[in-house]
Amino acid sequence: MTDIPAKRKLTIEDVARQAGVSISTVSRVMNNTDYIADATRRKVQDAIDALDYRPNALARGLKQMKTDSIGLILSDLQNPFWLMVLEGIEDACQEAGYSLLILNSRDDPEKEGKNIKEFLMRQLDGIIINPASEDNPLFAALAAEAFPLVFLNRRVKGVEVDTVVADNFKGTMLAVSHLAALGKNRIAIFLYPANGISPRQERLEGYKQALAAHGLETDPALIKIVETKEDCLAAMKQLLSGSGKPDAILSTNNRLTLEILDALGTLNIAVPQDIALLGYDETEWSKHLNPPLTTIRQPAYEMGREAAERLILAIAAKRRGETMQPVTVQLEPTLVIRESCGEILQ
Amino acid sequence: MTDIPAKRKLTIEDVARQAGVSISTVSRVMNNTDYIADATRRKVQDAIDALDYRPNALARGLKQMKTDSIGLILSDLQNPFWLMVLEGIEDACQEAGYSLLILNSRDDPEKEGKNIKEFLMRQLDGIIINPASEDNPLFAALAAEAFPLVFLNRRVKGVEVDTVVADNFKGTMLAVSHLAALGKNRIAIFLYPANGISPRQERLEGYKQALAAHGLETDPALIKIVETKEDCLAAMKQLLSGSGKPDAILSTNNRLTLEILDALGTLNIAVPQDIALLGYDETEWSKHLNPPLTTIRQPAYEMGREAAERLILAIAAKRRGETMQPVTVQLEPTLVIRESCGEILQ
DNA sequence: GTGATTTCTGAAAACGTTTTCAGAAGCTTT
DNA sequence: AAAGCTTCTGAAAACGTTTTCAGAAATCAC
């Protein structure tokens, strides 16, 4: 334990003294508001550079009642999908001169509440959130006071807030249509449990309607809701032991896809020979799996960018004293065809 | 554009008025410092709850000269390795009551500098960083004033700062030994270009020494430094066209591993029949590849946790007016054996 | 009943900025 | 030469907290 004398932090006053001007002048140079004589500006700038001075963002934010930064609350950073989203958000923020703070709710409503409060206390100018809960009273409270807020990937009903989602209904429609076109007629779907949040419901709905559109009936036995790896294996066993075995599986999450692949592996079922598999969400490893995976690709980067741009617009409007009418933007998923459904490629 | 009257933000004064006490008293209740009569405490707490008041962190931080939060600067969020690290950091922070801000340098020294300055301006109590550059003068400056700082995964020579790394030397040693034990004697290694940062060098060193230890000589032709997917394919072609073809490939990064797999695929080389492949860094998809990938696993979660705990210790010490002697912690990688090196499994 | 504690509370001074207000100095215009 | 603009600058008042200081009220010891 050696004792290094902790240098006192530099303040605007030190710069003012060094430059031989008042602190107001220093402030004016930094924010370049108001008239400043060229000579003065140079003196001050030199002092700032010489001392390597950086203004205290807390003091600045306190006075200005803004922080030029926005918060992002994600529910599952482990999912590569979110990393693409994140990239879009980052780019948009950087372009607009905002900085981005990230918190992870791990899909826990309680943690989500804490995260929001954390951001509010820090006086962030706006929040982008992938909601983990549907009934969080904070949402309504924020909406009521026109706090800049964007929901990402999940709708929250009953709350009028800017929302950016992918068309989940269309996603499973595309998937089922693709499978049906390949002659599959016993298409099972695997989902993680609900937590009442929208994409799951919409995906299931798309699945059902697409089946109907292709003249197939929905068999409840083919709808599997699993929570753990073990659930998944059990569900698969059950599915394959009965008489009406499926000839295709539609996974609705990319971690789930890996679990399904595992289950099929241990049961010695070959993809796509014995059964077709179609995954939701494109990842960097999708094409490297055995076999290369056919997937539904959501426009993750664009979703992130859209959400951030929307939020930044709302913040600007609020500063002008206006309030924008909340909007829901829905982006379209696409089908990425590879080999896991038994497609014939040339 | 409807106009919702923006509610004025609540301050401690509103709470004081509502509770019929002074603002000092409110502050004392919130921070529970000092004696407070039970009746008063209750009154104040009720007022806080009734108004749903949350203190302004900017004002608080300004006065207290601390923010109880630390910053994390990562260079490549896309790599799943970092997500595991992140989880460890998050857990440690949460346990200690710190909140965590994340910025992404994208391995760009300039952006890294901006990120550090951003954090400093925000008066964060400490920073964990995966350095993108080796000669950033900010590092030395921070070290000189005993600012709490931890380097993660990469050493920066010439700067005495807490550092948490994995033993990269041992990592490639393990890998080569495993391959040699399986009878491989033409072991190629693939690396991304340097940017002067340590792991690469150490991994290469471990590779060479392990070869020597097994009586194999290092052939420079077997060391491939590639930057892009195309480089990778080109390198692979060259490698396989010559006379001294390799019988094993050691990849040093998991995105690189996927690129290698692609290259082998297009060249119609089968793993592990034609060539063995061993990957660095364990990911959730490692075991789902074709074939399941043998890898070097780095203790990512532990690295994150260690780094955060170390930083938090340093912050606490600094508050007591002490300075801790910088320490380098090195964690051990392990070998995860699967099938991609032609192992015989029962 | 006096003095010394202990318990409680409020006024006011910070923290480091930005911004308002007012005024000085240098130009034009009359 | 007076008046009116510009152009520039500084003093001082915020912003919303915590903390110091001082003092009031209650409790205790004699």
DSSP alpha helix (H) spans, A103-197? 109-121, 137-144, 168-181
Nearest CB neighbour to A258, from listed B62, B141, B284: B284
User: Does A238 score more than 70 pLDDT?
Assistant: yes
pLDDT category at A328 given cuts 50, 70, 90 is very high
DSSP per-residue codes, A269-294: --TTTT-EEEEES--TTGGGBSSPPE
Which helix (H) or strand (E) is B276 found in, with range?
strand B276-280
Secondary structure class of A259 (helix, strand, coil): helix
Residue A5 has pLDDT above 70, yes or no: no
The distance (Å) linking the CA of A36 with the C1' of D5 is 17
Helix (H) or strand (E) holding B223: strand B223-225
> Across the interface, which of A67, A99, A145 has its CB nearest the CB of B7?
A145
Name the DSSP letter for residue B289.
B
Beta-carbon contacts of residue A77 (< 8 Å; ≥ 6 apart): A83, A104, B83, B86
Place of tokens 């068999």: A219
DSSP B110-148: HHHHHHHHHHHHTT-SEEEE--S-S--HHHHHHHHTT--
B167: left (phi > 0), else alpha (psi -120 to 50), else beta?
A: beta
Q: What residue type is B270 in one-letter code?
A: A
For residue B7, the model assigns a pLDDT of 62
Average pLDDT taken over every residue of chain A:
92
Name the residue among B28, B26, B100 with its Cα closest to residue B67: B100
Q: Distance (Å, rounded) from C-alpha A295 to C-alpha A258?
A: 13
For residue A107, CA distances in Å to A9, A243, A265 come to: 39, 37, 29
A32 vs chain B: nearest CA distance in angstroms?
18
List Cβ neighbours of A2 (8 Å cut-off, separation of 6 or more).
B323, B325
Instruction: Name the region of A16 (left: φ>0; alpha: ψ -120 to 50; beta: rest).
Output: alpha
Distance from the Cα of A116 to chain B's closest Cα (Å) equals: 11
In this structure, are residues A258 and B287 in contact, taking their beta carbons and an 8 Å threshold? no
A37 Cα to chain B: minimum distance (Å): 27
Residue B287 carries which side chain, given as an amino acid letter? K
Check CB contact under 8 Å for A285 and B285. yes
The per-residue pLDDT for B345 is: 63
A188-210 pLDDT per residue, tens: 999 998 766 668 889 999 999 99
Q: How far is the CA of B124 from the C1' of D23 (A)?
A: 38
Cα B324 to Cα B312: distance, rounded to the nearest angstrom: 12
Longest CA span, chain B: 89
CB atoms near residue A288 (< 10 Å): 19
- B83 interfaces chain A, CB cutoff of 8 Å: yes
Q: Shortest CA distance to B36 belongs to which of B24, B50, B47, B46?
A: B24
Strand order in the sheet with A328-331: A99-104, A69-74, A126-129, A149-152, A162-166, A328-331
Strands (E), chain A: 69-74, 99-104, 126-129, 149-152, 162-166, 187-191, 223-225, 248-251, 276-280, 294-297, 328-331, 334-336
The C1' atom of C10 and the CA atom of B345 lie apart, in whole Å, by: 77
* pLDDT at residue A7 is higher than 80: no
| C strand bases under 7 Å from protein CB | 7-12, 14-20
Chain A residue with minimum CA distance to B89: A104
- Per-position pLDDT tens, chain B of length 346: 334 445 678 999 999 999 999 999 999 999 988 889 999 999 999 999 999 999 999 999 999 999 999 999 999 888 889 999 999 999 999 999 998 988 899 889 999 999 999 999 999 999 999 998 888 899 999 999 899 999 999 988 889 999 999 999 999 999 999 999 999 999 999 999 876 666 888 999 999 999 999 999 999 999 999 999 999 999 999 999 988 899 999 999 999 999 999 999 899 999 999 999 999 999 989 988 888 999 999 999 999 999 999 999 999 999 988 889 999 999 999 999 999 999 876 5
A-interface mutation test, from B2, B51, B58, most A Cβ less than 10 A away: B58
Q: pLDDT band for position A111 (50/70/90)?
A: very high
Residue A176 or residue B323, greater confidence: A176
Comparing C-alpha atoms, which of B140, B143, B168, B142 is closest to residue B154? B168
Distance CA A251, CA A259 (A): 10
Which nt has its C1' nearest the CA of B61? D17
Angle at A200 between CA A196 and CA A201, to 5 degrees: 75
* Domains by residue range for chain A, with CATH: 12-55 (1.10.260.40), 68-166+301-331 (3.40.50.2300), 168-298 (3.40.50.2300)
Q: Considering Cα of B65, then B69, then B70, then B76, what sign does the dihedral take? A: negative
Q: Please choose, from the candidates A114, A117, A119, A88, the residue with its C-alpha nearest in 3D space to the C-alpha of residue A102.
A: A119
Q: Which residue is nearest to nucleotide C7 (CA to C1')?
A: B35
Answer whether A187's CB lies under 8 Å from A216's CB.
yes
Distance from the A137 Cα atom to the nearest Cα atom in chain B, whole angstroms: 12
Report the residue from B59, B86, B121 with minimal CB separation from A54: B121
What is residue A284's predicted lDDT score, i.e. its pLDDT?
A: 87
How many Å from the CA of B29 to C1' of C9?
Answer: 12
Q: What residues 111-130 of chain A have any CB closer than 8 A to a CB of chain B?
A: 117-118, 120-123
The rounded distance, in Å, linking the Cα atoms of B252 and A127 is 38
Sorting pLDDT into bands at 50, 70 and 90, what band is A296? Answer: very high
Of B2, B7, B290, the CB nearest to A325: B2
Nearest nucleotide to the CA of A61, by C1', is: C17
A324 contacts B288? CB cut-off 8 A = no
What's residue A195's pLDDT? 65
Statement: the CB of A243 is under 7 Å from strand C: no
Mean pLDDT across A306-311: 98
A270 touches chain B (CB under 8 A): no
What's phi and psi for A165, nearest 5 deg? -135, 165
Q: CA at A23, C1' at D8: how many angstroms apart?
A: 14
Q: Which of residues 172-231 of B touch A (CB under 8 A)?
A: none
Query: Which of A58, A121, A317 lies nearest to residue B123, judging by beta carbons?
Result: A58
Q: Is B99 on the interface with A (CB under 8 A)?
A: yes
DSSP secondary structure letters along A190-229: EE---TT-HHHHHHHHHHHHHHHHTT----GGGEEE--SH
